[in-house]
Amino acid sequence: MAIQIGGKRLVDGVNITVEAGKCTAIIGASGSGKSLSCLTPFGLTPGEAQGSVKLDGIELIEADAHQMRKARSRLTGFVFQQPLTALTPHLTIGAQLQEAADQAGPQRLSRHELAQKLERVGLSRADERLDQFPHRLSGGERQRVMIAAAIVHRPKLLIADEPTSALDASLRGEIMALLDELRAEQGLAMLLVSHDLASVEGHSDDLIVMDQGKVIESGPSADVIANPQEEYTKRLMAATPRLTEPAPVLPAVGNMLMETEAVTVMFPRPGWRRGKIEAVVDASLTVSEGEAVAIVGGSGSGKSTLGRAIAGIGPLTSGRINWQGEVLPERRARSLAMRSLIQPVFQDPVASLDPQWKVQDIVAEPLKNLRPDLLRTDRDRMVEEALDDVGLGAEYLQRVPNSLSGGQAQRVAIARAIIASPQLLVLDEATSALDPLVGASILELLAKLQQANKLSILLITHDIASARRLCHRIVVLDEGHIVEMGDMAAVIDDPKADSTKRLIAAS
């Protein structure tokens, strides 16, 4: 099969087979053509497919409108990446589930039957949900509804396009287990698309690795993972952090640098109800010179709020932040020198850079504010040095963020953070929006910077396996409270808190 959009050939020579009751997984970086390969034959992308795609005897490439509708409705179910937007906002869950059931031919399901379908995918209070609109449900709940709707008409093939990548780490395992169960129960064939090897491992029979529109390697999953043949696959395997890999050698740790004392952050409750939401409660932690500390937790655990409070870019309700034994004042009262001590890096690299600015100006901005005494020539020299430190050449100076890839943009964001010579970097999910290969290279870069500059790092993440590559110690947050804290290896070997165990299982 080949796919082109507007005459440009994006996918070429792809062969995919899925057998009934089996799961074939396609993995690859973003832009590798993996989603295109699965969705284009069904007419669900702007692309045009050539070659041959056979589904249960129907040739999809030459199918007329009627056959195509049949292929989409009766034979196939789809689960998409973004559960938050994949459901129609103005139709109730019940109406959408009924619509999905109609794919197998008009059939009126009773309310009780519809509720049973929701219960099957693990939704509680199923009867109540039928009358609710999608916005009342969380991301995980909506993805369960999507799965229920994708299989309610008993299709032969289920196409799951990154079904778990938009979900919280601890939910991923649950959703994948659910898909496995349903597959076995209904004898479904499943085509699973993912950029993340870890989420596919153990859930697929066959594995296809794609890069730049071509199949790099394919075969039984266990074989490919245990014994990758191609260079790209090997690199992909190596880039995927695992808890089983040997512990990295981390640089020595110096004196105490920063200490938080009972940091609490509260937000007013939205709406008319009075009261406060406690986002972070009594968080006390330390970071030493040259030390990397991971703050780990699920979404909503308060890890980002704590990181923002420490970086001085978010609210702090009570508690203190000490810097080398002295109290760091409230953010507005911090001097320029204090402000340059701690610098943040955010999750979405492209969104955190001003699209109108050139890389040169973006990287120079902290210097203009924090070191107004610098001469322009010195500043330009420092910008080039900072870019060089993050592995970008002078040719990037005049580029704008939209022309950068995710990994390049994150490097620019890191250059902006390190240019004012901070002693502590606060990285908020700085690698989770990136492909595994790119994410791994960013982690390597951070390790290099840490060693070269004696930098301390606070790494906020949901992914323990990637934190382990960089961090000496780990702090686990759950519902705003620190539930566990300690040496990285010790916590992974013998986790005490339930949420730590869940996060480790999800890694």
CA distances (Å), 477 to each of 138, 259, 284, 315, 375, in order?
A: 20, 17, 11, 18, 44
Closer residue to other proteins, CB minimum distance, 88 or 451: 88
Q: Beta partners for 278?
A: 266
Minimum distance from CB of 425 to other proteins (Å)?
Answer: 35
The full 3-state SS of 11-66, as one line of letters, equals ECCCCCCCCCCCEEEEECCCCCCHHHHHHHHHCCCCCEEECCCEECCEECCCCCHH
Minimum distance from CB of 157 to other proteins (Å)?
Answer: 12
Q: How far apart, in whole angstroms, are the C-alpha atoms of residue 400 and residue 357?
A: 6
Minimum distance from CB of 34 to other proteins (Å)?
Answer: 16
Cα-atom radius of gyration of the chain, to the nearest Å?
25
**3 state SS of 3:** strand
Residues that bind other proteins (CB under 8 A): 42-44, 68-74, 76, 78, 80, 82, 85-91, 99-100, 103, 133, 135, 146, 149, 270-271
On whether the CB atoms of residues 169 and 506 are closer than 8 A, the answer is: yes
How many residues belong to the chain?
507
Closer residue to other proteins, CB minimum distance, 146 or 258: 146
Closer residue to other proteins, CB minimum distance, 74 or 334: 74
Identify which of 314, 322, 294, 263 has the alpha carbon closest to the alpha carbon of residue 480: 263
Minimum distance from CB of 338 to other proteins (Å)?
Answer: 39
* Spacing of C-alpha 502 from chain mean position: 17
Q: How far apart, in whole angstroms, are the C-alpha atoms of residue 96 and residue 87?
A: 8
Minimum distance from CB of 55 to other proteins (Å)?
Answer: 13
Closer residue to other proteins, CB minimum distance, 54 or 69: 69
The angle formed by the CA atoms of residues 335, 279 and 465, to the nearest 5 degrees, is 90
On whether the CB atoms of residues 176 and 196 are closer than 8 A, the answer is: no
Closer residue to other proteins, CB minimum distance, 273 or 332: 273
Q: Which amino acid is at 362?
A: I
Closer residue to other proteins, CB minimum distance, 85 or 229: 85
Closer residue to other proteins, CB minimum distance, 66 or 376: 66
Minimum distance from CB of 148 to other proteins (Å)?
Answer: 13
Enter the tokens of residue 220: 């039984």
The full 3-state SS of 9-21, as one line of letters, equals EEECCCCCCCCCC
On whether the CB atoms of residues 294 and 467 are closer than 8 A, the answer is: yes
Q: How far apart, in whole angstroms, are the C-alpha atoms of residue 426 and residue 323?
A: 15
On whether the CB atoms of residues 451 and 251 are closer than 8 A, the answer is: yes
**3 state SS of 172:** helix
Minimum distance from CB of 87 to other proteins (Å)?
Answer: 6
Minimum distance from CB of 166 to other proteins (Å)?
Answer: 11
Closer residue to other proteins, CB minimum distance, 98 or 340: 98
Closer residue to other proteins, CB minimum distance, 82 or 212: 82
Closer residue to other proteins, CB minimum distance, 5 or 68: 68
**3 state SS of 157:** strand
Minimum distance from CB of 43 to other proteins (Å)?
Answer: 8
Minimum distance from CB of 284 to other proteins (Å)?
Answer: 36
Closer residue to other proteins, CB minimum distance, 134 or 213: 134
Give the side-chain half-sphere CA count within 13 A for 26: 29
Query: Where does residue 377 rank: exposed (0-12), middle (13-18), buried (19+ CB within 10 A)?
Result: exposed
Minimum distance from CB of 85 to other proteins (Å)?
Answer: 4
Q: What are the b/e assignments for 45-57, b being 16+ CB within 10 Å? A: bebebeeebebee
Closer residue to other proteins, CB minimum distance, 45 or 116: 45
Query: Where does residue 333 rank: exposed (0-12), middle (13-18), buried (19+ CB within 10 A)?
Result: exposed
Minimum distance from CB of 32 to other proteins (Å)?
Answer: 20
Closer residue to other proteins, CB minimum distance, 59 or 99: 99
Minimum distance from CB of 152 to other proteins (Å)?
Answer: 10
On whether the CB atoms of residues 253 and 290 are closer than 8 A, the answer is: yes
